[in-house]
Structure 1
Amino acid sequence: MTTLRFFVERGRAAEQYAMIRSGVCMLYAHWEGFIVMAARSYLEYVAIRRIAYGQLKRNFLAVGLSHKIRKLRDQRNVTGDMDLVDAILESAAMPMSRKAIDVIDAKSNLSPRVLRGILQALGLARDLVDPVEEKILEIRLLRIRNRVAHGEKIEIDISDGDYVGLHRKVVELMDRFRDCVLNAASRGEYRA
């Protein structure tokens, strides 16, 4: 990513256009990949501690039972409802399963809304990204990445200076997410 940023900053105009297009896609890939990997790592960290759901924040119970909740929700009858209640009550003494990490999914489009869902699943502050940063992610990263990645021939309304600023902002947000996860783990914020 740093090399691409260098080429954007120092390349000729024709090269800059290609570098910005590829740079935005690469930047997005790092953004999504890092957030998903860090989130799954945090869930795995909690799971390997073998702490019973009853001693964890309730978001971990929701994460751990999400597959069962979805399956039983589709039954739409009292039997399914009772099975769900039983699963919740019985799980209080059970430790979180490592299978729970599969719940973290960026849905191939890590938008601010999806990020808030991941933060909620982890029991972390959902306001990690402020509204201005959300707009930057939506307009400058996601919209351009989606259009480029899906083969649209578009004029990118982002200059080399804008790209460098976007690069810095995305790296800053990744660092902020990392720090939030590390702090939650070291402080035991996963406990009820």
Structure 2
Amino acid sequence: MIKTKEDLIDKIATDHIWRLREMNEMKNLIETDKASFLQKQVLCRAGIALMYAHWEGFVKKTGTYFLEYVSNQRHSINELKSNFITLIVKGRIDSAHDSKKYSAFDEVTKYILSNQQSRARIPIKNVVDTQSNLSTTVLKEILWCLGLDYVPFESKEKLIDQKLVNRRNHIAHGQEIQIEVDDFAEMMEEVLGLMTTFRNMLENCTITEGYKAA
């Protein structure tokens, strides 16, 4: 159970470090003089799939850690940013929508108004849903759920959607696609940067308690 800032930061760091090591090991294998041209091509293709897997896995795992931490702070509903309140009442909203009755939606309103001082029980499971296809559209939704800003990733949309996600999908579906060694090395640096950005955002929000209502 993640209860303290230190617990969360340690969890995030641990998950980050093993992924960095594995990605760097793949890069070293590709760049070694011992590898033939064909071996480098195969490793580059495999490396794109690995790179994507670590990017998706890191966002999903550490994002879920963050939700667990916020939930365990035992804040009341009125102490949290609106996105967390939405997560709390989403199940009630879904039920109201299914009933197609205004009165059902009124129950959601009454719940929020009458439980401002109640402990916020934030759902954790399946909230950080990468949909096995972490495009920028999906990433934007995940960041909203976590109460984080999407702006740092706006300049990386082409990288994420075209160079990473699309290439990974082509490879995963057995399509022929050639990845140059220099291109792979450049992508590696970019993806490592994406992971570091996400990690820094989680840690900064934790330290500054940015998940609280202003």
TM-score by length of 2: 0.82
Q: Per-residue deviation at 1:67?
A: 2.6
Q: Deviations over 1:142-185 (max 9, x none)?
A: 0011111122x3123x3111111111111111011101110101
Give the whole-Å Cα distance in 2 for the aligned partners of 1:108 and 1:51: 32
1:104/1:87 Cα in 2 relative to 1: closer, same or farther (>3 Å)? farther
Aligned AA (2:169): N
- Provide the residue aligned with 1:163 in structure 2: 184
Unpaired stretches in structure 2, ≥5 consecutive residues: 1-22
Give the whole-Å Cα distance in 2 for the aligned partners of 1:91 and 1:25: 46
Structure 1 stretches of 4+ with a deviation exceeding 4 A read none
Unpaired stretches in structure 1, ≥5 consecutive residues: none
Tell me which of 142, 147, 150 is aligned to 2:165. 142
TM-score by length of 1: 0.91
1:101/1:94 Cα in 2 relative to 1: closer, same or farther (>3 Å)? farther
Give the whole-Å Cα distance in 2 for the aligned partners of 1:127 and 1:101: 26
Tell me which of 32, 46, 51 is aligned to 2:56. 32
Do the aligned partners of 2:80 and 2:212 also contact (CA within 8 Å) in 1?
yes
The answer on 1:182 being equivalent to 2:203 is yes
RMSD: 1.5
Count how many residue pairs are aligned between Structure 1 and Structure 2. 189
Q: Deviations over 1:106-132 (max 9, x none)?
A: 11111111111111111111112133x
Give the whole-Å Cα distance in 1 for the aligned partners of 2:27 and 2:93: 44
Identity of matched residues, % = 29
Do the aligned partners of 1:44 and 1:101 also contact (CA within 8 Å) in 2?
no
Give the whole-Å Cα distance in 1 for the aligned partners of 2:183 and 2:92: 45
1:40-59 matches, cutoff 5 A? 40-59=64-83
Greater mean alpha carbon deviation, residues 179-188 or residues 68-77: 68-77
